[in-house]
Amino acid sequence: MKPEDIKLVSDFHDYYDHNFAYGPYAKTKHQLNRNSNNGMHKYTQLYLMKTLGFTVPPNGTVESLLDQFPYPELVVYTDPFLHRGEGKELISAKHAINKYPDLFAIPYIENSNSILGSVTIRILWIGDVGFELQYSSGHYWKGDWRSNYGDEVHIKLISTMYINRPQANYPLFAIDLIEDIVGKRWAIDFNTAPGIKDTPIQDLYQPRQIAQFIADWYDKVE
């Protein structure tokens, strides 16, 4: 299958997009839905990642979380459908219980490598080709608490993978993990519309190669 046999429906532009069919009159057998808001609630994301074998943090409403354990800080999802560092707030438990008792939340997990500021590991799959990326924002004395948000976001390619693809039925997806201070990794985000532009992957692969990875996945699952 060629990328032109797939229609792209997206609310943002990436560097490989021009290889796909596009527009209301494009008639194709397959459609790649790549929208920032994919309609998947944070609870559903965590449940899915757990079924895929990843460790997820405790989660629930602010009130239910604090009933289980007195976490000092929480990440509260003011919009549990958003990605890219939006729709969430880092807040002390004391203020969260008063301000957002019924909103969905997880405990705040401190990074293992605080000298880099906020750090997450992204497992990104494009078709059957996987990449492990490190996102960091600022340094410990400055920068945003979200690794992919702020004026100083650094992205480093750690490895490329061709085996052990999670059994997720999506041609393109990313799983974000935080490594805590004892080295345990927690999966916190599942994204079916990850951006590839301005990452090290753009320097390694031509737009046509990225689009073909996705087309090859559709060939495989037909």
User: pLDDT tens for residues 15-45?
Assistant: 999 999 988 888 898 999 999 887 799 999 9
pLDDT of residue 141: 45
On the question of pLDDT at 67 being above 60, the answer is yes
- pLDDT of residue 115 exceeding 70, the answer is no
Kindly tell me if the per-residue pLDDT of 5 is higher than 70.
yes
3-state secondary structure of 120: strand
pLDDT value of residue 148: 60
Q: Is the pLDDT of residue 8 over 50?
A: yes
Domains 38-57+110-221 and 58-108 share a fold: no
State pLDDT tens for residues 160-187.
Answer: 998 899 999 999 999 999 999 899 999 9
Decide: residue 134, CB within 10 A, 0-12 exposed, 13-18 middle, 19+ buried: middle
Q: Domain locations in the chain?
A: 38-57+110-221, 58-108
Q: What is the pLDDT of residue 146?
A: 58
Q: Which CATH class is domain 58-108?
A: alpha beta
The pLDDT confidence band at residue 92, using thresholds 50, 70 and 90, is very high
Tell me the CATH number for domain 38-57+110-221.
3.30.470.20
- The set of residues, in sequence order, having a beta carbon less than 8 Å from that of 153 and lying 6+ positions away, is 135, 136, 137, 147
Positive or negative torsion for Cα 216, 35, 179, 70: negative
Distance CA 94, CA 71 (A): 10
Dig out the tokens for 120 from the structure.
């997450």
Give residue-wise pLDDT tens across range 117-149: 678 999 999 999 999 999 987 655 455 555 665
